[in-house]
A and B are shown apart, each in its own frame.
Chain A
Amino acid sequence: MKNIWHFYKGTLVLISKGSTAYYCWVFFLLGLMAIGAVAYAQQLNEGLIVTAMRDQVSWGFYISNFTFLVGVAAAAVLLVIPAYVYHWKPIKEIAVLGELLAVSAIVMCLMFVTADIGQPARFWHLIPKIGLLNFPQSLLAWDVVVLNTYLVINLTVAVFILYNKYYKREPNKKFTTPLLLLSIPSAISIHTVTAFLYNGLGARPFWNSSILVPRFLASAFCSGPAFMILIFFLVRKYTKFKIEDEAIQKVAEIIAYAMFINLLLLGAELFKEYYTDSVHLAPVQYLFQGLHGHSALVPWIWTAMVFNVTAFILFLNPATRKNNVTLVMGCILVFIGVYIEKGMGLVIPGFIPDVLHEIYEYAPTGIELLLAMGIWATGLFVFTMLLRVAIPIMNGDFHVADDGVGSFIGDQLFLVQQKQEIRSEPLNAESEPPA
């Protein structure tokens, strides 16, 4: 118990100490979170009327973000499989970062759902036995179960591994292996169930397509890993933590395959709709061409298309994949492209035209944008805090003291490596001009 207390105290020290850049980042996030909280307070007070959602388009920006983030969370499994099933060392060292990203993404997912519901105080109705969870009838009930399971599994595994590392001992495989193996199907399940949630509605032809689940999975395996690569680059640049090129390249390769499947499935969907040319074409037309003069999503979806195809080419071509600049560019393009395609691009056309073919154009209000921003900031804040503790543990900078009780912090600053670089830079600058 005392040990845990010291560990906890150590984490608090780590979180509260850091470079100026770290402080700026954290306070920037806290500021955005405060703005989001104010927006949420107003929404609670006035009701969801402050959003642009109406009966015709009854889900909007919040659920779009939720859907996208489920994909990001699911993608952690792409690091877990090579690391723990195939014991591939370069990725094993960084898999825990993927798990922490999954945790942060699920936190955001749960917050987006909470932001979207009309009676958030009644959340306890969803707790089995106490409330009345409609399981297994409702896919939303399934989603509640799998999302929370996934959150608990990832949090447990990541904390357990890190805590053992802190004590400089190998994590008990009997405990971690079953959980890690369980995390693989549960990652797939969160995304499958979220896709089924849309998929099973006969009223919405845009979603009622059997390739929706594979499409979801394919795009998740693009966006999640793309974000991971960006984080790897940042972590490698600003901390002592080593991440091998080999690991990054492997993840980039996966993105190339996943993006190929994603584009293929999208093409299959578009072919079916356009060639059949039934009334069910209307939502697709709304998304890609505009319908009866309404075309709010058209520029967005084409941006996403261009981004996704460009990124695919960048990842497919070994020269651009191995070049860090184009690789980072590709990751950013994928992330934005999938964010549009599997966010608003997936949710909104389900409602336009609506079931009686009325067209109500939806664009999020300021409150929706601010609240969503606050939730993203919260997710990034959670991720930052988790990394702030995890990285020193992985580096060996934060571990148990020699007495086996207290904690030892080797280096309290986050940007250790960069500090040294800055110190050495002036020397270079002085020596360079004469040459």
Chain B
Amino acid sequence: MSDIKKCDDHVLHKSRRKMLKGLAAGIGLIVMPGRDASASVWEEFFQKHFRELSKDELKGVIARLEKEYSKQHGKQVTVKTTPPIEGVRYGYGLDLSRCIGCRRCVYACVTENNQSRTPQIHWIRVMQLDKEKGIDLSHAEHYYNPATVPEKGHFYMPVQCQQCEKPPCTKVCPVQATWKENDGIVVVDYNWCIGCRYCMAACPYGARHFNWAKPVLPSSEMNPNTHYLGNRPRPKGVVEKCTFCIQRTREQPGRYPACEEACPVGARKFGNLLDPESEIRYLIENKRVFIFKEDLNTQPKFYYFYAT
């Protein structure tokens, strides 16, 4: 009996879903510009949430995206959906005593992660601080631009997504378009985000960035090795953020995040927090470590430390 009822419910549910989708399509037709009204636009419009897609549906979505991106950029683009690796929880270390404020990490990140060049989106923000004042953000210089760095009397503090263990941004999302994966990386489904920017209001680190305009990504500079939850090209009107280079770090053998690789002074460290032998664990256990805005209890997995 209950099975039959369930089945009925299911059918009803389905037809209601269909009907509402029809309604949504009707309204979408009004909202969307006509010239984009090709079949793939509708597929995209009705696409389910990433975590609700069945294996087959996911395959279809990925095929569609790869085709679209490859066509747009004139090269073979792959969109991976590599899941988290068992027994891995990523942690990042940043040595404030070494950082020279050269911003190589910022631009390595932009290139690796296909950020918009116009308007510019940076997932990493480096602040120039006074040695005399310490970490006093009200005296931070965000747009320092001398001929050479580091400047006397200053030190530098890069800030990016802290991959909080208790992320305030995912909690506030009205449509669950952003969430924390099992390896601790906070990701966004760019095809599900409605662009309300509540997460940006909630993030204490300014780590979330919005595509205010259609992102401009020159095909020659486009990185074709992408991940669905990471560096694939984004549409306008959605939020994006650092994913610890999910397209690199989830590979086996894994690669370091682009910012880590780019750092000329070795101020950046990355590893598995669950591995007692990892470098990041050594740093946490042996160096003077702090986490940013500790009082907010967001529990970042981004550790600032002083090695010297």
Contact = CB atoms under 8 A, between A and B. Distances in A.
Interface residues of B, number: 59
Interface in A174-224: 197-198, 200-204
A47 B177 contact: no
A228 interface: no
Contact of A130 (B21, B200, B213): B21
Interface of A: 44-49, 51, 53-56, 58-59, 113, 116-127, 129-134, 137-141, 144, 197-198, 200-204, 279, 282, 350-351, 353-358
B200 A58 contact: yes
A139 B172 contact: yes
Contact of B138 (A55, A120, A279): A279
B201 A48 contact: no
Contacts of A118: 193-197, 210-211, 236-239
Contacts of A126: 174-175, 194
A53 B173 contact: no
B212 interface: yes
Interface in B129-173: 137-138, 140, 142, 159, 168, 171-173
A47 B238 CA distance: 10
Interface centre among A118, A134, A197, A351, by most chain B C-beta atoms within 10 angstroms, is: A118
A53 B212 contact: yes
Contact of A117 (B45, B194, B200, B208): B194
Contacts of B198: 138, 140, 197
B304 to A, nearest CB: 14
Contact of A138 (B24, B137, B173): B173
Contacts of B27: 121, 123
A44 B33 CA distance: 9
Contacts of B3: none
A121 B138 contact: no
Identify the 4 closest CB pairs spanning chains A and B, nearest first.
Answer: A118-B195, A118-B237, A203-B204, A49-B213
Contacts of B206: 55-56, 354-356, 358
Contacts of B52: 132
B168 A203 contact: yes
Contact of A357 (B138, B168, B172, B238): B138
B203 A203 contact: yes
B174 A127 contact: no
Nearest to A358: B142
B215 to A, nearest CB: 9
A94 to B, nearest CB: 36
A105 B63 CA distance: 45
B237 A47 contact: yes
Interface in B188-238: 192-198, 200-206, 208-214, 235-238
Given A58-B200, A119-B193, A133-B174, A353 B138 contact: yes
B175 A125 contact: yes
A123 B174 contact: no
B212 A48 contact: yes
Contact of B20 (A120, A127, A197, A203): A127
27 contacts: A46-B213, A48-B212, A55-B209, A56-B206, A59-B197, A118-B197, A118-B236, A121-B28, A121-B32, A122-B192, A123-B24, A124-B21, A125-B194, A126-B174, A129-B16, A130-B20, A133-B174, A134-B173, A134-B175, A138-B171, A197-B198, A202-B168, A203-B201, A279-B137, A282-B138, A356-B140, A356-B205
A164 to B, nearest CB: 31
Contacts of A354: 206
A357 B140 contact: yes
Given A138-B172, A355-B206, A356-B125, A49 B140 contact: no
A132 B28 contact: no
Contacts of B297: 202
B171 A137 contact: yes
B261 to A, nearest CB: 25
A121 B238 contact: no
B89 to A, nearest CB: 22
Contacts of A138: 171-174, 198
B149 to A, nearest CB: 19
